Structure 1
């Protein structure tokens, strides 16, 4: 196997391209290893009562904008942030997914989906908090949850 690194100062995040023949059995193993290994111990900052807290992404249930204010929800707390939703979305690991125009959820924290004709209600483990997914994002939400379930 050959490894090559190219430096490009215009990139905001590292990009990894795997080139292999179609019958190479190692490609899927490499892909799974890379997806399972966090590159950094990145944290998000959130504010509550004029104090800044540093939150691990795994502790976040969902992030939403309400009244032009970004709110970061954990199991029992709500923190605010001065960043925009799209800015935070770029920093989050791949197990986060946008499910509405103003909402991003942690797929690993989802306990149940309650689908009705008009909407989809998402509930989380160990928390009474719930959030709605719009119809536009529902299919992608289900696909990602199925991928995660099958990869375990």
Structure 2
């Protein structure tokens, strides 16, 4: 494989182009790895009492809106944010996915899916916390988790 970097001052953000002679299954793996790798060490700010904390995305289990309040859940704590769910979603790496109207989860933190007729319960590694995924998002959630398993 040949790797080449070109510098263009007119670009707003990095662009990756993959050229191949034919259909290669490794190309899809490379594409997914690039999409799931955060490019920066950006943190999200969350408040607990009157203290502002800066949270690394990989430590976040899920983000949900409850009673018009955005809550950021880690394994041990819950932080609040003044931002809206759609605003925070644009700042998150590709390994986050919306699974309900008011919930975004970290796909790398999912331990199990418990599907029933009416819903899907998501549990996380090293935490007692659980969240529901709506039926609308279930198929897409399963596909993304399968893709990530193939990459590892």
Q: How high is the TM-score relative to the length of structure 2?
A: 0.85
CA shift in 2, pair 1:64/1:33, >3 Å = closer
Superposed displacement of residue 150, structure 1? 1.5
Q: Deviations over 1:36-67 (max 9, x none)?
A: 64311111110111111000111100000111
Secondary structure of residue in 2 paired with 1:140: helix
| CA shift in 2, pair 1:8/1:60, >3 Å | same
CA distance in 2, matches of 1:77, 1:64: 13
Unpaired segments of 5 or more residues in structure 2? none
Q: How many residues align?
A: 149
CA distance in 2, matches of 1:16, 1:83: 30
| Closer/same/farther in 2, CA of residues 97 and 25 from structure 1, 3 Å limit | closer
Q: Partners in 1 of 2:31 and 2:67 — Cα distance? A: 40
After superposition, residues 76-87 of structure 1 pair within 5 angstroms as: 76-87=76-87
Output the CA distance in 1 between the equivalents of 2:5 and 2:111.
Answer: 40
- How far has the Cα of 1:23 moved from its partner? 5.3
- Offset of 1:68 from its aligned partner? 1.2
Q: Which residue is equivalent to 2:134?
A: 134
Q: Cα–Cα, structure 1 residues 151 and 30, in superposed 2: closer, same or farther, change >3 Å?
A: closer
| CA pair 136-32 structure 1, distance change in 2 beyond 3 A | closer
1:2-55 CA-partner distances (Å, limit 9, x unpaired): 54444245xxx6443334332578845753653464311111110111111000
- Matched with 2:125 is 125
